[in-house]
């Protein structure tokens, strides 16, 4: 639905669009749209174009949101990431080498350490409309934040998704509960949300709009090459913010956590959705003992979105499943180990002296002088012996 707005006159000043007071149809109004950048200001955290939701970023977002909500001159808010909205949680916080408690990243009882779950509730509870301006990617925790906003405006080339199953987890900040709630089609909406979550695939904007996940798409052309159309998307998000300011009490109908997947009297819809989830788990997912622990947990969490009476109860199921996977799943630890190993392999120092990973002696050993480097080859078959011979010819010491 596109809502008529009565007055709109914007000029950018220090992150806010200051509406000049105008009289239209006998109504005096002043609109101020605050644009909040997901990227922390310089000096408050490392800058990363993917905008991972690190501790510094989460705290920056929370304080910025709180200031905008408290400011009586601000009438609406646009959440903006720049080149990318956000690629999700800072996964280094889930590694054994991370210096941050992973519980602080997803859910926290410390008022001074904001989690992604805390931010989602903060967005949803805002009395002022909040528009997610999605450019680049919105993945994992990034999409979970966008789902907690009142509206989602996207670049036509953007991609969204919840890829947590690929590292042995499930969405842990409301993704399994909010995504089915914003999808159209009741039973078919649940099936679509389930497919997206258990596959971890990325979704294009046309598909996302068809099911109701995004509200508007901004298409760009050759004239937008300077910034890839990002400024054009931001301007459209501001217009939606001005529309949303006119909703008043009707804004409450855009709060995702207050929606139900099915109406209370729609027993047939719940039966169909339950059958869809059960069919996925029985026929389309790998068995739990064969690497399917995360995807089965994801399906159980999605079922909770319509089987539990309240959003809070569904979130409790999601949280319990998430923490069980993070703390107890050997499959998940293996997948995350592989993820970090692949990243480490891309950062190894080169012989030219460029610095790579710090403190990873194994990764550095082949770059040591050949007189001190020692290569171990496991397996003495045709391939193993060939590898060993190649290293010997190159001047390395080899243990076969």
Which of 93, 113, 124, 164 is the catalytic position? 164
Q: Is 318 known to be catalytic?
A: no
Q: Is 144 known to be catalytic?
A: yes
Taking each helix axis from N to C terminus, what angle separates 175-182 and 293-307, rounded to the nearest 10 degrees? 50
Secondary structure of residue 327 in the 3-state scheme: helix
How many Å apart are CA 30 and CA 263, to the nearest integer? 38
| CA distances (Å), origin 20, targets 29, 33, 234 | 8, 11, 19
| Burial of residue 327 (number of CB atoms within 10 Å: 0-12, 13-18, 19+) | exposed
Degrees (nearest 5) of the Cα angle 197, 198, 203? 45
Which of 93, 124, 144, 245 is the catalytic position? 144
How many Å apart are CA 144 and CA 138, to the nearest integer? 8
| The residue to which tokens 């005096």 are assigned | 28
Count CB-CB contacts under 10 A for residue 127: 7
How many Å apart are CA 342 and CA 345, to the nearest integer? 5
Supply the residues annotated as catalytic. Answer: 144, 164
């Amino acid at each position: 639905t596109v809502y008529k707005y009565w007055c709109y006159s914007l000029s950018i000043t220090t992150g806010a669009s200051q509406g000049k007071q105008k009289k239209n149809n006998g109504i005096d109004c002043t609109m101020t749209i605050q644009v909040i950048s997901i990227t922390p200001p310089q000096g408050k955290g490392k800058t990363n174009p993917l905008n991972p939701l690190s501790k510094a970023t989460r705290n920056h977002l929370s304080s910025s949101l709180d200031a905008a909500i408290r400011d009586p001159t601000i009438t609406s808010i646009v959440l903006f990431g720049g080149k990318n909205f956000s690629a999700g949680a800072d996964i280094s916080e889930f590694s054994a080498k991370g210096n941050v408690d992973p519980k602080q990243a997803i859910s926290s009882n410390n008022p001074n350490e904001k989690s992604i779950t805390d931010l989602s509730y903060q967005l949803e509870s805002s009395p002022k409309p909040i528009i997610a301006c999605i450019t680049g990617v919105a993945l994992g925790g990034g999409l979970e934040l966008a789902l907690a906003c009142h509206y989602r405006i996207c670049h036509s080339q953007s991609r969204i998704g919840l890829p947590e199953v690929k590292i042995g987890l499930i969405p842990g900040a409301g993704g399994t509960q909010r995504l089915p709630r914003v999808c159209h089609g009741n039973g078919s909406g649940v099936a679509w949300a389930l497919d997206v979550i258990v596959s971890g695939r990325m979704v294009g904007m046309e598909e996302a709009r068809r099911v109701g996940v995004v509200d508007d798409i901004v298409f760009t052309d050759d004239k937008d090459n300077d910034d890839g159309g990002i400024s054009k998307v931001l301007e459209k998000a501001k217009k939606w913010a001005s529309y949303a300011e006119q909703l008043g009490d009707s804004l409450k109908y855009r709060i995702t956590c207050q929606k139900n997947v099915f109406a209370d009297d729609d027993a047939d819809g719940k039966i169909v959705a339950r059958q869809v989830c059960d069919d996925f788990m029985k026929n389309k997912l790998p068995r739990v003992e064969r690497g399917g622990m995360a995807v089965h947990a994801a399906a159980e969490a999605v079922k909770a979105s319509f089987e539990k009476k309240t959003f809070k109860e569904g979130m409790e199921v999601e949280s319990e499943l998430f923490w069980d996977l993070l703390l107890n799943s050997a499959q998940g630890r293996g997948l995350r180990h592989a993820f970090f190993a692949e990243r480490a392999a891309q950062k190894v120092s080169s012989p030219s002296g460029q610095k790579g990973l710090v403190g990873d002696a194994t990764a550095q050993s082949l770059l040591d002088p050949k007189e001190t480097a020692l290569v171990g080859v496991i397996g003495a078959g045709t391939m193993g012996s060939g590898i060993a011979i190649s290293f010997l010819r190159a001047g390395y010491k080899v243990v076969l």
